[in-house]
Amino acid sequence: MWDCSEAPDAKCMGRKVWCAADSCGLFCTGFAWLTIVGTDFAVSRLVLRPWFFNDDAEFVTVKGILALATMHFLAGMALLCHLKVVFTCPGVEQRNTLTSEDLRCFDASNDLETNSRRVCRTCRCYKPPRTHHCRVCNRCVQRMDHHCPWVSNCIGKYNQKFFLLFLLYVVLGELYAVSMFVARGLQCLNRSNECVDPMRPYGTLIGLIVCIVSIFFLIFVLTMACDQCEAISDDISQIDRLQYQKQSERTIYETLTEIFGEDFSVYWLLPVARGRMVPHSNHRE
């Protein structure tokens, strides 16, 4: 039912791959990747290597390896989660399930306010609760939270977990990067004779610029994370909140198990689809 290769208005790159990119989404996605890769490179090359290794990488220390591995792990997970959000179908309703006659009957009943069933005239289908039509994707998206240009996709039933993980790993990665920049900067201020520019003559300048960009990116991502925390604690999507829909009575844990597809386990931290996140899985909705 949700096979995205059948989505006529999404630019699919082969079968079963979802890609709803528009020009704004492509630009923002490229900027996000550049920031993550650039930060990883700058911290590794300009801070950690000169700090923990000598020029010939002779004095390799456990501390140095752990510091480099932490940065690469956080950047790698952030990139992987981002790719999963971009290329995972958020969950869409099948189109053209209503005929013109059905739509006429619906109009004749004329009770848009009281009728519990809603229809989408663009997709010509019924819209279950919490399903909304996205103008960018041009589809009705199940449990739609919002359309995010930074991942060039809707955040919905099947990719909200990956979006939350992306925010988590970016926040951790940028916090780690900024603290490394600041710690190394303070060390070099005190012992400037021990610190040389690792990429003469612009290494220090590049490091400073990347550090400032990282701080702004961190603030921006933290804002998105706060919005998501609020939406989860109130169990209401951002789009439902804008439409003044009622909050549900579920607990935060119940909302999280719905998003992550299963009860808490280590898989919550990994960008893999499990349990109710898998379309057609045997788990009860």
| Interaction site with Zn ion (CB under 5 A) | 120, 122-123, 133-134, 136-137, 140, 147, 154
Give 219's contacts (C-beta < 8 A, 6+ positions apart): none
Nearer to Zn ion, 147 or 184 (CB): 147
Closest CB 135 distance from Zn ion, rounded Å: 8
Please return the burial class of 82, using the count of CB atoms within 10 Å of its CB with bins 0-12, 13-18 and 19+: buried
Residue 148 DSSP label: E
Nearer to Zn ion, 134 or 165 (CB): 134
Nearer to Zn ion, 43 or 137 (CB): 137
Question: Which residue, among 101, 158, 98, has the nearest Cα to 122 in the 3D structure?
Answer: 98
Task: Report the amino acid identity of residue 9.
Answer: D
Question: Which residue, among 127, 100, 97, 133, has the nearest Cα to 115 in the 3D structure?
Answer: 127
Nearer to Zn ion, 72 or 118 (CB): 118
Distance CA(7)–CA(26), nearest Å, equals 19
Closest CB 151 distance from Zn ion, rounded Å: 10
Nearer to Zn ion, 22 or 262 (CB): 22
Nearer to Zn ion, 140 or 210 (CB): 140
Nearer to Zn ion, 45 or 127 (CB): 127
- E strand or H helix at 1, and its extent? none
Closest CB 47 distance from Zn ion, rounded Å: 38
Nearer to Zn ion, 86 or 137 (CB): 137
Q: How far is CA 50 from CA 58, 68, 174, 187, 198, in A?
A: 12, 12, 20, 12, 7
Q: Give strand pairing partners of 118.
A: 127
Distance CA(230)–CA(207), nearest Å, equals 34
Q: What is the DSSP code string of 30-81? A: HHHHHHHHHHHHHIIIIIIHHHHS-TTS-S--HHHHHHHHHHHHHHHHHHHH
| Residues belonging to the chain | 285
Question: Which residue, among 120, 158, 131, 122, has the nearest Cα to 18 in the 3D structure?
Answer: 158
Closest CB 107 distance from Zn ion, rounded Å: 17
